[in-house]
Amino acid sequence: MSSILKIEQLSHRYSSTWAVRDLNIEISQTGIVGLLGSNGAGKSTTMNIICGVLNQTEGKVTVDGFDIREQPEEAKKNIGFLPQTPPLYADFTIDEYLHYTANLRAMDKTKIKAAVEEVKEKTGIGHFSSRLIKNLSGGYKQRVGIAQALIHKPRLVVLDEPTNGLDPNQLIEARKLIKEIAQEHAVLLSSHILSEIRLVCKDVIMIEAGRVVFADTMDAFDNYMQPNSLLVMLQNMPAEAALLAVKGVQKVEFLTEKQVRIYFDGDPGINERIVAASMEQNWRLKEISADKSLLDDTFKQLSTLSN
């Protein structure tokens, strides 16, 4: 079976500036791959090239084995694309819009009605079928945008910053929907927000200044630069001096009456020493874990690798 998406030595230049340089990416199975990078890193350019909106300067992109530049119609049959600004027609009802997008994709006319009903059910918008798109909330407009990307059952679904501008409740629903979609499709999801990628993606590709600076699992990203700090829950919180007396502890930051952030020198034996000190001095240790809240520092450090 061919790769769902294969990008080889992809480069693109605007005038004299390279927006993307020598990208190599391959997706061969369903699931969510995060495309992470700061604003201006080259994410949207990459996605526009993948989806055939933009012709690359150099390199090759194939979708389901079809070259997006040489065989665009065949390649696009297996691409569903939601740009950063959803391509919606405000004065269409949801039904009118989905029938319209199905016809744009040259779907078999005998299958369009069933496809529209199926995708409305999948995205949870069926009860608004006759409502004008302009009268929908931001969250439901986003669902309609996702529905048009799914209607022809593509192997690859490309979502460019799909959670931008959503309120907290809409964010939760959007993440749930994207995870459900990924059970049947390969999903490439872009974001400049590290926490958003961590919540939904198993694999991550990070680009900065148009170059890949990291490509692996999310777990590997978490472990790439383990922060030299721990979050520790103690039933009997000791004084600062007692914590600083543990070998390797450099600084402590009290977060609550029961939780403290401990900065240390990087020695992996710190956990055992804290456990031992807790037992000896009756701190009643409840929990000790790596401080994932500082993973944004990893993002910042990786961002400098392209410079």
Domains of the chain: 5-223 (3.40.50.300), 229-290 (3.30.70)
Please answer whether residues 263 and 250 qualify as being in contact, where contact means their C-beta atoms are separated by less than 8 angstroms: yes
Its sign, for the CA torsion 59, 200, 218, 258, is positive
Q: How far apart are CA 167 and CA 5, in angstroms?
A: 32
Q: Which amino acid is at 157?
A: V
Q: What global pTM score does this model have?
A: 0.76
Please answer whether residues 59 and 215 qualify as being in contact, where contact means their C-beta atoms are separated by less than 8 angstroms: no
SS3 (DSSP) at 284: coil
Q: What is the pLDDT of residue 227?
A: 61
- Beta-sheet strands, E only, within 71-140: 79-82
Q: What is the pLDDT of residue 295?
A: 53
H-type alpha helices, 124-251:
138-150, 168-181, 194-200, 218-224, 240-244
Contact partners, residue 48, CB within 8 Å, separation at least 6: 54, 83
Rg over CA atoms, the chain = 24
Q: What is the mean pLDDT of each run of 10 residues along the chain (307 residues)?
A: 89 92 94 91 94 96 96 95 93 98 95 96 95 94 95 96 85 92 96 86 91 88 71 95 95 94 86 93 90 60 57
Q: What is the pLDDT of residue 103?
A: 96
Contact partners, residue 81, CB within 8 Å, separation at least 6: 47, 51, 53, 149, 157, 158, 160
Please answer whether residues 81 and 149 qualify as being in contact, where contact means their C-beta atoms are separated by less than 8 angstroms: yes
